[in-house]
Chain A
Amino acid sequence: MSTTEILFFFLSALAVFCAVMVLVSKNPVHSILWLIMVFMAISGHYVLMNAQFLAIVNLIVYAGAIMVLFLFVIMLMNPNTETEPRKHIWMKFAGVISGGCFLLMLVSLTRQAVEMGGRNVMMSGGNIGLIKNLGKALFSDYVVPFEITSVLFLSAMVGAVVIGKK
């Protein structure tokens, strides 16, 4: 069993565990922290797959900015005052069951995907994950969507302002 495999399984287990913890932990702050852990693990996966750029961006944007944003919001409305009351148990139950069914469906479906048989993910090789190549591609082929995302941000900004204004 090579190190990559060990790392893979370790990170996967870690990610799944933390994800579950996100769900089960009562306190939203804890959930956030667990979620950050998940993102860390995922970044680890990116590194494993030699997608360096995404690994970094994931850390900075998600684990950094976005989660901090969440954290701020939580703080803003200090959650200790309202501890989340019980949800109907059957609702939880139904949620888990249906989520399980969904997983089951997708998994069984991909198991039938014979064309995936023997396809491997290239670990730690290939250079498409490097900033250089991504940058080239982004500003040559994908410049249009890149520009268009500016519209997205504009609207998001305006929206935030509109909503945020007293």
Chain B
Amino acid sequence: MSKLVFLVPLFPLLGFLVNGLGRKSMSKSLVSVVGSGAILASFVVSLLLFFDVKANGGAVSTLFNFIDVDGFKIPFAFQVDQLSSLFLLIITGIGFLIHLYSSAYMHEEEPQHFGRYFAYLNLFVFSMLLLVMGANYVIMFIGWEGVGLCSYLLIGFWFKNNNYNYAARKAFVMNRIGDLGFLLAVFWLLFKLGTATYGEVFTAANLAKLSSFDITAITMLLFVGAMGKSAQIPLYTWLPDAMAGPTPVSALIHAATMVTAGIYMIARSNILYTMAPATQTLVAVIGLATAIFAATIALKQNDIKKVLAYSTVSQLGYMFLGLGVGAYTGAVFHVMTHAFFKALLFLGAGSVIHAMHHEQDIRKMGGLKKHMPVTHLTFLLACLAIAGIPPFSGFFSKDEILTASYGVSPLYYYIGVAGALMTAFYMFRLYTLTFLGKFRGTHEQEHHVHESRWQMTVPLIVLAILSVVGGLVGIPEVFAEHAHSLEHFLAPIFAESAKMAEHHHLEASQEYLMMGGSTLAIIIMIVFAVNRYKKYQATEAENAGVSKLLENKWYIDELYDAVIVNPLNALAGFFKNIIEKSGIDGLVNGVGRMVSYGSRQLRLLQSGQVGNYILIMVLAMVVFFLIWFNDNTIVQLFNKLF
């Protein structure tokens, strides 16, 4: 079976090449067929692999030696095990749906840009696959930066608009900052162990070689990488700006797959983290903080995609909370469910935007329920899922994380729940403003609003189904023994950590209580939100105070500019204009100027007067005699000097 592995990334790569090179000649339909077909093909292969893994465990298949120096050896190898196969499914599956969706969504583009779009998208899937399939950190890093590249290209897809380009650059650079951490961690591993292959790093023998400081440092650095990729505090600001890209892209890259790479990476190296409690605490705290912080911002955003973006950041925070408290399964579980419903939300938003002719401000929407029923229904389901209403998928995954975090510290739990409440609030604020109430847009908009084509609705429906039933793979133990099939599936990956981490099981009664309580609170919050915004008018008072602060995202971007960007620019200018020109180059030229000045002075010695010449000669002779008499002292002087 493992000889099929290389096919998985191969198909998207081929799709990329075909679409990229033939983008001028091929028709749109052909392009979309190729693009989506490639992903579909690798989805099929992934399915085969998945069942293969389910049946008889993971396997590593090496293609060739990527780098082989005598410091270390890095094979270009793929590792397909429970974790990666699960991600394969998510990536290719959702990827396919989004490709399908895009073929309709992007239909207005000129052929060659259409082709370019699909090429990028395929390339992204390819890199993402490298990321999750790589059998060592270097291959993962290749995919890691590859997805960064694609996100850069796709955010800046409409490159005529310079703001989009800036957003793209911001995303790439911020990712780069994280990547540096990742890279240093890899160097550290290579330095200490001489290998970066999971199979070798995670052996007890090698782990024993690492001092606890090493492990803490490595995990910290890896986590820095994760911050960049998965948009955690302080490196999260690029994600909201990344919404400049086409909506399907946001759905695929900035919701479902790429941003979860950080979670994947930490889950992949879970053992290291379990061995580094300090880092775990950090991860948990950062995650939680991000979750709350992003949620607060999301409360007051008016751009439909921005809301979703911040909610993504917040949900990612939950996942890191899960990782931090050692609920690796929960984190991965949440990745999966979140992929379903967040992709669904974005696609829904996309279909709305598409219908509204690229109007993204929810204050100008409303009452779309009757115009586009499918979108509305699926969107509602997704909202329920993310809000965490049982038995939708979000409930199970989020609950699992929160429960685990309660085990570590109740404080985590309460803050987490608070975040969940906010989630429920802003999601239903969004839902209400968009679909309920009466239409607040212009007339021709209202006239044109229509349900989208099948290529767009089918993915919506599929995803809706998934986000409704997706949670059932992870039913908590309290409901039924061994019901948590995901946990059993992933058990081999986290076995080691599970051994190390101590398990604190809650009383079933208390767990029921927590579930019930949180659910109740959420429902109340939903009702409140719906009522609050049902009667919303475009003419509402300007925000003030805290809400203004929230609307402006706590002014974090401005803060970064003031603290980091501008000083750096100033420094660069100082170097360029002062140090370089006057300082170093000035010094170099100064030598030359000194020479010519000396020349101008020395030639005055040549006065043209024979008398002076002879005078100098005589004096020189006198000096010679002096030298001759005092030779010893002079020699000693020289010896002192040199």
Q: Chain A interface (Cβ within 8 Å of chain B)?
A: 87, 91, 94-95, 98-99, 101-102, 105-106, 109
Residues of A within 8 A of B621 (CB): 102, 105
Task: Check if B615 is an interface residue, CB within 8 A of chain A.
Answer: yes
Closest Cβ neighbor of B621 among chain A residues: A102
Q: Are A101 and B611 in contact (CB under 8 A)?
A: no
B: interface residue count bin: under 10
Per-residue A-contact encoding for B256-286, CB less than 8 Å = 1, 0 else: 0000000000000000000000000000000
| Nearest 7 A/B pairs, CB to CB | A105-B625, A101-B622, A98-B618, A98-B619, A102-B618, A105-B622, A102-B622
State in angstroms the CA–CA spacing of A95 and B617 once bound together: 11
Q: Are B615 and A94 in contact (CB under 8 A)?
A: yes
Residues of B within 8 A of A106 (CB): 625
Q: Chain B interface (Cβ within 8 Å of chain A)?
A: 611, 615, 618-619, 621-622, 625-626, 629
State in angstroms the CA–CA spacing of A94 and B615 once bound together: 8
Residues of A within 8 A of B618 (CB): 98-99, 101-102
State in angstroms the CA–CA spacing of A109 and B627 once bound together: 13
State in angstroms the CA–CA spacing of A91 and B612 once bound together: 8
24 contacting pairs across A/B (C-beta < 8 A): A87-B611, A91-B611, A91-B615, A94-B615, A95-B611, A95-B615, A98-B615, A98-B618, A98-B619, A98-B622, A99-B618, A101-B618, A101-B619, A101-B622, A102-B618, A102-B621, A102-B622, A105-B621, A105-B622, A105-B625, A105-B626, A106-B625, A109-B625, A109-B629
Residues of B within 8 A of A102 (CB): 618, 621-622
Q: Report the minimum CB–CB distance from B625 to chain A (whole Å).
A: 4
State in angstroms the CA–CA spacing of A106 and B618 once bound together: 12
Q: Report the minimum CB–CB distance from A138 to chain B (whole Å).
A: 33
Q: Report the minimum CB–CB distance from B554 to chain A (whole Å).
A: 82
State in angstroms the CA–CA spacing of A45 and B230 once bound together: 112
State in angstroms the CA–CA spacing of A105 and B621 once bound together: 9
Residues of B within 8 A of A94 (CB): 615
State in angstroms the CA–CA spacing of A101 and B619 once bound together: 8
Q: Report the minimum CB–CB distance from A34 to chain B (whole Å).
A: 21
Residues of B within 8 A of A87 (CB): 611
Residues of A within 8 A of B619 (CB): 98, 101
Residues of A within 8 A of B622 (CB): 98, 101-102, 105
Q: Report the minimum CB–CB distance from B181 to chain A (whole Å).
A: 76
State in angstroms the CA–CA spacing of A98 and B626 once bound together: 13
Closest Cβ neighbor of B620 among chain A residues: A98
Closest Cβ neighbor of B626 among chain A residues: A105
Closest Cβ neighbor of B628 among chain A residues: A109
Residues of B within 8 A of A98 (CB): 615, 618-619, 622
Closest Cβ neighbor of B622 among chain A residues: A101
State in angstroms the CA–CA spacing of A99 and B629 once bound together: 19
Residues of A within 8 A of B611 (CB): 87, 91, 95
Q: Report the minimum CB–CB distance from A95 to chain B (whole Å).
A: 7
Q: Report the minimum CB–CB distance from B251 to chain A (whole Å).
A: 96
State in angstroms the CA–CA spacing of A95 and B611 once bound together: 9
Question: Which of B621, B622, B626 has its CB near the most chain A CB atoms (within 10 A)?
Answer: B622
Q: Report the minimum CB–CB distance from A80 to chain B (whole Å).
A: 24
State in angstroms the CA–CA spacing of A60 and B611 once bound together: 31
Residues of B within 8 A of A109 (CB): 625, 629
State in angstroms the CA–CA spacing of A95 and B610 once bound together: 12
Question: Which of A101, A106, A109 has its CB near the most chain B CB atoms (within 10 A)?
Answer: A101
Q: Report the minimum CB–CB distance from B10 to chain A (whole Å).
A: 94
Closest Cβ neighbor of A87 among chain B residues: B611
State in angstroms the CA–CA spacing of A109 and B621 once bound together: 13
Question: Which of A91, A94, A98 has its CB near the most chain B CB atoms (within 10 A)?
Answer: A98
State in angstroms the CA–CA spacing of A66 and B626 once bound together: 37
State in angstroms the CA–CA spacing of A102 and B620 once bound together: 10
Closest Cβ neighbor of A99 among chain B residues: B618
State in angstroms the CA–CA spacing of A109 and B624 once bound together: 12
